[in-house]
Structure 1
Amino acid sequence: MAPQSASAVPRDLAPAASVALPPDLSVWLEQHADALDEGSLDAATVLPRLAAANLFRYGVPEAQGGLPGTDIGDAIEAVSQVAEQSVASAFVAWGQRVFIEYLLRSPNTALTAAWLAPLLAGEQAGATALSNAMKFLSGIESLQIGAREEGGHWVLDGRMPWVTNLRVQGFLVAAAVTAPDGTPAVVALPHDIAGLVRSQDLSLLALQSSNTAALEVQGVRIGPEWLIHSDARQYLPRARPAFAGLQCGLSIGLARRALRAANEAGKGQASRGILAKPLEALRTQVDELNASLIAGVRSDRFVVEPWALFEIRIALAEAANQAVQLELQASGGAAYLKPAGAGFARRWREAAFLPIVTPSLVQLKTELAKREARLAAEAAA
């Protein structure tokens, strides 16, 4: 059995309240949020900034370099607070912290011992290409990388079309592969291994300083030292709550920031009265969804009830989009003027990303619809 990470540390199920970004990081993110979104600031600057604030140490066992008394709920809150300032930076934080979680949950202790410290310090980037695997787990698509055996090694071929945090200064990427015996497995690949080819950064509508690119896997040879887990079907259901839970931090942070901006924009305006009620209702909804998310990830509820996590992920992404729309209504024409509306324009683009980040809302809703149909059929039988 894979060792448990600090995500499973017993704790009161109240929302995380012990996380506070250092003021210098908050100021830096606020000052450079537009540049990070547009790609005019070097993406290489993001990871060291976040690591210097100990962002990746939340929820990691103290004995392995983590912050004492913290768990996965605190890690989600940390990503959320970064997303309040910059979703591009939060996207990087999500990829790094999820990769760290993969190592914490891996039975390959030598791999964890070799790479955990540089990942926590931001000296090495961790990239998760397991979105394909999460969709495979739900029966949405097949794995995109296959392995054959040659001389005691696996030889991998395939492609990863969209991966974030592929820092050109060095990265490890987690990938799901079909093993030679047909079993889905999870492996780590270092950036400089022969046959792994990184594309140029993808031309994104937003979140451009996130080191997002494609990877070609062409005859990559690996030994057992790079195996995160030999059976993804056992491993991924337990890793999925952290994967999706940390991803939800993007929506939580953006919703909070847009609601705050809407409230500030509405002060002293006639529109404030008509918008006060929907703003307060949405703020309450986001708080309740956040509390349910953190409680569910802490208690391992989502391991056995993944559909409940899917519902929260959908609701939070939709809430973030609603919050940005309310910000627009509260700001009026000012939101459409440059440069005053630059922050709103960025949040609008950030909100457009949330429904499509894998697994997309359409994919999640499709899975929930299948479950409802199956339950209905069972009830009618």
Structure 2
Amino acid sequence: MLDPTLSRWLDEHAEGLDLGHTDPQSVLPQLAAAGLFAIGVPEERGGSGGTVLDAIDAIADVAGHSLTAAFVFWGQRAFIEYLLQSPNRELGDLLLGELLDGSLAGATGLSNAMKFLSGIESLQVNATPTGDGWSLDGRLHWVTNLRKGRFVVAAAIEREGAAPLVAAIPSDRAGLTRSDDLQLLGLQSSNTAALDFAAVELPRAWLLHEDARHYLPRVRPAFLGLQCAMTIGLTRKALESVREHLSDRRSVLREEEQRLADELDEQVARLREGLLDSAFLTEPARLFRIRIGLAEAAAAAVQLELQASGGKAYLTEHGAAFARRWRESAFVPIVTPSLVQLRAELQKQAKA
């Protein structure tokens, strides 16, 4: 259950966050004030305890009000998870406090890395060894939660003659340049931009892991699980709206609403089970199928909301929330890893 103050703020600003009319810098402080970033973080690391499942529930709750805010939440919480699973305890001790209180933005720049892990594309940042670390060159084309002023971004980095590494790069490093915000169809107040690296000097102290091929499969279940939470929250909200419109219990849409609700509950149960028993570490295809199933459920739920609302949904005066969810649902299939990429990976595994 979200803090009522945060729920009201999200409802009041959901449209502005989606269209870019609300200041993107306001999102992190609102989420942090409600204590959301501490959920699922061990108390001895400054958090409020619980597991990543609790963080998934919290992101889903936020997504029911605003997918933009949930997108920012996902980026921040995923970066926190990278630190929790990194052997570099000192780096976590340095950064976690400011990440939990929202004064520092954590950007999960590992979308390219997850595609690299599946053989879809090569890494886009390269490292040249220096005395106490590396010099970085390259570009990350799409990164969320690059809060203007101060952020830290995670990236998987290619290096010649050695395994790719994973590092955190703070925004104040010389040679690191943030682009203007990308002009998106929606989710515009999410601080989504590109990053250019030009001889960025990075000390070894900022290393998350020496071997991306070992580290990325370990963090992928949390990365995707937290990402799935956005879709879960959006789908629940769309189905809630359907139920509000179906005042007649005999409505022809009632059966379809119940079917989608049951399917959503089943997918969520599978997600929780796979994360609890760590099955996704050795069977990532199970997680990929859940991600695909949830995306399909979101599309179907928003389509059903349109049918249940009728012509009212197409009137600006009445249909603004539906139109926002329609735009939000269009993002679900393309967020990395996209449904096309996941299906390609499943097909490749099936052939193997």
- TM-score with structure 2 setting the length: 0.98
- TM-score with structure 1 setting the length: 0.91
Instruction: Give 1:43's aligned residue.
Output: 24
Instruction: Give 1:166's aligned residue.
Output: 146
For residues 1-381 of structure 1, what are the structure 2 equivalents within 5 Å?
20-68=1-49, 70-268=50-248, 273-374=251-352
Shift of 1:182: 3.3
Instruction: Give 1:11's aligned residue.
Output: none
Aligned-partner Cα distance in 2 for 1:76–1:196 = 31
RMSD: 1.0
- Which runs of 5 or more structure 1 residues have no equivalent in the other structure? 1-19, 375-381
Give the 3-state SS of the residue equivalent to 1:157 in structure 2.
Answer: strand
Shift of 1:67: 1.3
Deviations 1:227-258 (A, max 9, x none): 01010111111100000000001110000000
Aligned-partner Cα distance in 2 for 1:92–1:295 = 25
Deviations 1:92-119 (A, max 9, x none): 0000000000001111111100000100
Do 1:37 and 1:346's aligned partners in 2 also have CA atoms closer than 8 Å? yes
Give the 3-state SS of the residue equivalent to 1:129 in structure 2.
Answer: coil
Deviations 1:264-287 (A, max 9, x none): 122249xx6110001001001111
Give the 3-state SS of the residue equivalent to 1:341 in structure 2.
Answer: helix
Aligned-partner Cα distance in 1 for 2:38–2:277 = 20
Give the 3-state SS of the residue equivalent to 2:238 in structure 1.
Answer: helix
Aligned-partner Cα distance in 2 for 1:150–1:325 = 54
Deviations 1:32-87 (A, max 9, x none): 1000000000000000110111111111111111113x111111010000000000
Do 1:259 and 1:279's aligned partners in 2 also have CA atoms closer than 8 Å? yes
Do 1:72 and 1:298's aligned partners in 2 also have CA atoms closer than 8 Å? no
Do 2:60 and 2:231's aligned partners in 1 also have CA atoms closer than 8 Å? yes
Do 2:128 and 2:136's aligned partners in 1 also have CA atoms closer than 8 Å? yes
Shift of 1:180: 3.9
Give the 3-state SS of the residue equivalent to 1:368 in structure 2.
Answer: helix
Aligned-partner Cα distance in 2 for 1:152–1:61 = 31
Do 2:18 and 2:189's aligned partners in 1 also have CA atoms closer than 8 Å? yes
Q: Which one-letter code corresponds to 2:311 in the other structure?
A: G
Number of residue equivalences = 352
Do 2:19 and 2:189's aligned partners in 1 also have CA atoms closer than 8 Å? yes
- Which runs of 5 or more structure 2 residues have no equivalent in the other structure? none
Aligned-partner Cα distance in 2 for 1:314–1:221 = 39
Do 2:132 and 2:204's aligned partners in 1 also have CA atoms closer than 8 Å? no
Aligned-partner Cα distance in 2 for 1:334–1:300 = 45
Shift of 1:341: 0.2
Aligned-partner Cα distance in 2 for 1:77–1:159 = 33
Shift of 1:179: 2.5
Q: Which one-letter code corresponds to 1:347 in the other structure?
A: R
Aligned-partner Cα distance in 2 for 1:31–1:97 = 23
